[in-house]
Structure 1
Amino acid sequence: MIVSIEGIDGAGKNTLVTELRNRTGADVLCFPRYDTSPPARLAARALHGDMGDLTDSVHGMATLFALDRYGAREVLDRFRDSTDVIILDRYVASNAAYSAARAQDPSLCDWVADLEFGELGLPVPDLQVLLDTPVDLAASRAESRETADRSRTRDRYERDRGLQERTSAVYRRLAEQSWQGPWLSVEPGDAGEAAAEVESRLRAVRIHGHARQV
């Protein structure tokens, strides 16, 4: 089973992923894989102004993030149609939400799905969890993180308040439309409570045999 945790920058995804890993013992994979993936490293350089006008291309940046995930396809495929669980910190929905928000064009969500699930053959997640954190709170967390750790300098996306607001709105639409499968929206707050909600849904998934049947 593939479970992705989604949300804007500073939403608290890492905290929720860590809580879920501690509670369930599930494997975890975080995207983008900046430490190990050449496409992800190129995207990071672009976001910090080191790749000329590459970051101006919505499709170009989306393709780099997609290729990062394609590089992990062998790992992801092990959890396709499996009762074993892997928890992803961001997945394809992140690319869809940010791309559509950047272009201000909802059709980019379908373009991303065709690229990643179609052309690249990545597995569709069994459950997508939206951590629906208010933009003000998420921005405050991102700023505090940057202040506390010089290695966590905010990139171009993280500094763009308008982009974060538009991305949050796109995420909500994706969840409401059950884009590419079932979604669960959880409110920010206690990570244990949010993790308990996700665990409850996962138990239902196991009972029904497959998330897309829930």
Structure 2
Amino acid sequence: MIIAFEGIDGAGKNTCVSALEAELLSREIPVARVAFPRYEQSVHAQLAAAALHGEMGDLVDSVHGMATLFALDRAEVAADLADFDADGYVVLLDRYVASNAAYSAARQGVDGSDAAASEVVQWVDDLEFTDLGCPVPDVQVLVDVPDDVASGRVSRRAESDDTRAADAYERDGGLQARTLEAYRGLAAAQWRSPWWTLDNSGDPADLEDAVSTFVDTVVLGGDGAGDGAVDGA
């Protein structure tokens, strides 16, 4: 099973993936984990990072150019993801194709409710799943927190770690808000696979309960279909 966690910068995707990984390992379920973009391994991701920090001229202004770099990063390991899935691993992805779809739609000003049917989202779909052969996830999880909460986390992270200065996308609060609405539109439309929503803005104990429920229902229960909130909210 391939499970992709999605959400805007600062939503806490890494925290949620780590919680699910720990829960799966505690039940002796094999896990493979990948976070995108793979800045330390992929030249395409490194070029995208350089653009986001103003080092690649006007490349960052191109919606399709940036989306292509992020897509090529995933394409480099597409076969590995499929192999892990076939070998019985639960593959946990911190960002995946829906990230490209949501950010591209938001950058083009697409209304969130129309995101799933928009031309640029279809272009991302064709590029990543059809042309580049990225495997379609079995389940996608939207880590949904208010954009002001997420932006506060990004700011605190940048202040406490000078190696993680906010990039052009993270600094653009309007873009983050539009991207969140695009994600919600994709989730509502169950774009490309079943979606679940996880609220990561509350008590960490609530997150642990939500993750346990998710494992029982989706991973072990095989119930990929679901538009309900994982946290029970």
TM-score for the superposition, normalised by structure 2: 0.86
Aligned to 1:10: 10
Other-structure match for 1:137: 149
Q: State how 1:78-97 maps to structure 2 within 5 Å.
A: 78-80=83-85, 83-97=88-102
How do residues 104-143 of structure 1 correspond to structure 2 at under 5 angstroms?
Answer: 104-105=109-110, 106-143=118-155
What residue is the counterpart of 1:166 in the other structure?
178
Alignment pair present for 1:37 and 2:42:
yes
Query: Where does structure 2 lack aligned partners over 5 or more consecutive residues?
Result: 26-30, 111-117, 228-233
Say if 2:85 and 2:91, in contact at 8 Å, map to a contact too: no
Comparing 22-31 with 111-120, greater Cα deviation is found at 22-31
The question of 1:196 aligning with 2:216 is answered: no
**What's 2:115 paired with?**
none
C-alpha change, 1:194 and 1:148, in structure 2 (3 Å) is farther
What per-residue deviation string (whole Å, max 9, x for no partner) do you get for residues 38-82 of structure 1?
Answer: 000000000000000000000000000000000111211113456
Of the structure 1 ranges 163-172 and 189-198, higher mean CA displacement relative to structure 2 is found in 189-198
Contact 2:158–2:165, Cα closer than 8 Å, also in 1: yes
| SS of residue paired to 1:76 | helix
* Alignment length (residue pairs): 210
Residue identity (%)? 50
- Structure 1 residue ranges without an equivalent (≥5): none
- Partner secondary structure for residue 221 of structure 2: helix
Decide which moves more: 147-156 or 18-27: 18-27
- The letter for the 1-side match of 2:218 is R
Determine if contact 1:135/1:168 at 8 Å carries over to the other structure: yes
Matched, 1:23 2:23: yes
Letter in 2 for 1:124: V
Shift of 1:161: 0.5
Deviation at 1:22, TM superposition (A): 1.1
Task: Provide closer, same or farther for how the CA distance between residues 103 and 213 of structure 1 changes in structure 2, counting only shifts above 3 A.
Answer: closer
**Structure 1: distance between partners of 2:213 and 2:123:** 31
* Contact 1:131 1:187 (8 Å CA) reproduced: yes
Instruction: For residue 104 of structure 1, give the secondary structure of its aligned residue in structure 2.
Output: coil
Runs of 4+ in 1 over 3 A off after TM superposition: 79-83, 211-214
Q: In the aligned structure 1, how far is the partner of 2:47 from the partner of 2:186?
A: 27
Scaled by the length of structure 1, the TM-score of the pair is 0.93
